[in-house]
Amino acid sequence: MSKVYVAIIGAGGVGKAFISQLAQYASTSRRPISTILIQRSSQAVVSKDYSPIDLASWSSAPSTSPLSFPEETHRFLASCPGPVILVDNTSSAAIATHYARFLTSGISIVTPNKKAFSDSIELWDTIYAASANNGHPGAGYIFHEATVGAGLPVLSTLKELLETGDEVRRIEGVFSGTMSFLFNSFAPLSGDNGGKGFAECVSEARELGYTEPDPRDDLNGLDVARKLTILARMSGLRVKSATSFPIQSLVPKSLESVETAEAFLERLGQFDNDMKKVKEDAERGGGVTRFVGAMNVETNEVSVGLKTFDKGSAIAGLKGSDNIISFYTKRYGERALIIQGAGAGAEVTAMGVLGDLIKVLQRLK
Ligand SMILES: NC(=O)C1=CN([C@@H]2O[C@H](COP(=O)(O)OP(=O)(O)OC[C@H]3O[C@@H](n4cnc5c(N)ncnc54)[C@H](OP(=O)(O)O)[C@@H]3O)[C@@H](O)[C@H]2O)C=CC1
Ligand SMILES: N[C@@H](CC=O)C(=O)O
Ligand code: NA
């Protein structure tokens, strides 16, 4: 079996967990796997002669400044003596917009980065047209399971429903690990929350590695909107972009343009009473507030925002960072096919990325 080369961009929470899962997988894989690049925003470990980087000690290996992207990175990978899989563990749009160029050169891509799949519909079309997924000869494959529900098998399930001829009518649920954690801890189903303010819960979610690098990207609803855009497009809706439908934001207007995530978090506590009121209003009606999303193929609608749920509902009963995703289809009728479990966190996300890498390995000659 020929050797497969892996290049990793992004070694933060998810990237580091991915590297240790890859090390374990590669040590037992029948197919030789050689990691030749681990690149962060300001430094990189590069194996110029394509010999394997030791994944147990990469963080103390000699580093250089990063290869420029896309130019040097593309040149380095396109000259590789065997098939290459590029793993994008960043949340960078600047990287995502160049996927098609890599795919056209036969380089496969696996990624938890939502940017490429939830920006313009033109970018989505360009990426899929350039990939081997759609039969483009000599091109690379692209998989992005971890862009929705982290490691939960959401996209692979949707794909299989569609490929086997089912008709998806609507998909709804809790799509954000951060939002789930925030409301499960700030407005728990029973008991009080120990006096925690909303802002304190946001800082905790960030420390646990659930949030985007800037938690405003979760709180403004855009992260959920991106996931629904991906699901809607896979289901056949031509959603123009992740901002082409109504999204309820929980970011106070006056904090939208605060420069850094840290400064935002410092000031968020000033707005704790607003969220307390939302919580108390729901409680007075006998329910709990949760942040949810839905897309409806029949009405061509996507929606994202807060809703009040009955205390006996499955959504009200979620714990931790759990997502719950319900597929209403022709075959499953009104008793939906439901996927539930942790929807954020480094290890479960890395699992989704490694699972995709294994899918590519199975397809490569
Ligand atoms: N955390 C989670 O639970 C989940 C995350 N995801 C997605 O996974 C991705 C990674 O998330 P996470 O690990 O939490 O984020 P982090 O912020 O922890 O890590 C991001 C990494 O990307 C690197 N990076 C950023 N921009 C560039 C660039 N232009 N060139 C090279 N490296 C770059 C950063 O470099 P440096 O180390 O120098 O800062 C860092 O290593 C995101 O797209 C996120 O949406 C998806 C599902 C769940
Ligand atoms: N920030 C996201 C991470 C996974 O996509 C979330 O909280 O769900
Ligand atoms: Na997933």
pLDDT, one tens digit for every residue, the chain (365 residues): 899 999 999 999 999 999 999 999 999 999 999 999 999 999 999 999 999 999 999 999 999 999 999 999 999 999 999 999 999 999 999 999 999 999 999 999 999 999 999 999 999 999 999 999 988 889 999 999 999 999 999 999 999 999 999 999 999 999 999 999 999 999 999 878 888 999 999 999 999 999 999 999 999 999 999 999 999 999 999 999 999 999 999 999 999 999 999 999 999 999 999 999 999 999 999 999 999 999 999 999 999 999 999 999 999 999 999 999 999 999 999 999 999 999 999 999 999 999 999 999 999 98
| CB distance 42 to ligand 1 below 6 Å | yes
Strands (E), the chain: 4-9, 33-39, 44-46, 84-88, 108-110, 142-143, 168-174, 287-296, 301-310, 322-329, 337-342
Report CA(119)–ligand 1 centroid distance (Å): 18
245, 303 contact by CB (below 8 A): yes
Residue that is written with structure tokens 């394509």 in the block: 50
109 strand-pairing partners? 86, 142
Sheet arrangement for strand 44-46: 44-46, 33-39, 4-9, 84-88, 108-110, 142-143
Which ligand is nearest the CA of 18, by number? 1
Find the distance separating the first CA and the last CA of the chain, reported in whole Å: 8
Nearest-atom index, ligand 2, CA of 349 = 4
For residue 31, report the distance from its CA to the centre of ligand 1, in Å: 28
The pair of three-digit structure tokens given for residue 355, joined into one six-digit string = 């699972």
Ligand 1 contacts CB of residue 175 (under 6 A) = no
The answer for residues whose C-beta is within 8 angstroms of residue 343's C-beta and 6 or more apart is: 149, 150, 152, 174, 175, 176, 177, 180, 321, 322, 323
Retrieve residue 240's tokens: 């123009």
Closest-approaching ligand to the CA atom of 176: 2
Ligand nearest to the CA of 155: 3
Distance 181 CA to ligand 1 centre (A): 20
> For residue 111, which of 74, 82, 134, 141 has the smallest C-alpha distance?
141
227 is catalytic: yes
For the whole model, what pTM was predicted? 0.97
Q: Given the DSSP bridges, would you call strands 33-39 and 44-46 parallel, antiparallel or unpaired?
A: antiparallel
**217: its two tokens:** 């990207």
Q: Report whether 98 contacts 120 (CB < 8 A).
A: no
**DSSP letter (8 states) at residue 66:** P
- For residues 217-238, one letter each, b for 16 or more C-beta atoms within 10 angstroms of the residue's C-beta and e for the rest, the string is bbbbbbbbbbbbbbbbbbbebe
Q: How far is the CA of 90 from the centre of ligand 1 (A)?
A: 4
**Nearest atom within ligand 2 for CA of residue 180:** 7
